């Protein structure tokens, strides 16, 4: 289960508020990166989504092991960070009836 991820948005406050509503949680400012907000699920795991202004990049190094750099947004693209798990390939297996196949689970896909 993913408990934390970071994404970029044109309107971080609005996006965090919508995500918090969906998760049944709360949206709050994220002070380490001004203009960012955090959608908290308020569960026992500290689950949440950091929403940064579009164009924000995370950079390793420095006194606190990393920082934020603002650049011009490049349009739509992948999120800043996601799960450390590799994406499972999308494959299908034939059904016993010979009709349309069914999707493989991540375990089945990686073992084929």
The reply to whether 9 and 56 lie within a common domain is yes
The reply to whether 66 and 100 lie within a common domain is no
The reply to whether 14 and 65 lie within a common domain is yes
What residues contact 33, with CB distance under 8 A and at least 6 apart? 52, 53, 56, 68
75 falls within a domain: no
Asked whether the beta carbons of 82 and 5 are under 8 A apart, the reply is yes
pLDDT band at 110 (very low <50, low <70, confident <90, very high): very low
Q: How many distinct structural domains can be found in the chain?
A: 2
For residue 107 the two structure tokens come to: 């375990």
pLDDT in tens, 18-77: 999 999 999 999 988 889 999 999 999 989 999 999 988 877 876 667 777 777 776 655
What residues contact 99, with CB distance under 8 A and at least 6 apart? none
How many residues are there in the chain?
A: 112
The reply to whether 92 and 37 lie within a common domain is no
Range(s) of the domain holding residue 100? 85-112
The reply to whether 47 and 94 lie within a common domain is no
31 falls within a domain: yes
77 falls within a domain: no
The reply to whether 22 and 55 lie within a common domain is yes
């Amino acid at each position: 289960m993913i408990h934390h991820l970071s994404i970029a948005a044109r309107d971080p406050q609005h996006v965090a508020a919508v995500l918090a509503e969906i998760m049944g949680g709360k949206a709050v400012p994220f002070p380490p990166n001004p203009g960012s907000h955090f959608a908290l699920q308020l569960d026992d795991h500290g689950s949440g989504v950091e929403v940064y202004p579009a164009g924000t990049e995370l950079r390793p190094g420095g006194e606190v092991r990393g920082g934020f750099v603002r650049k011009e947004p490049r349009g739509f693209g992948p999120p800043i960070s996601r799960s450390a798990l590799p994406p499972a390939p999308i494959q299908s297996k034939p059904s016993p009836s010979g009709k349309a196949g069914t999707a493989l689970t991540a375990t089945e896909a990686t073992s084929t």
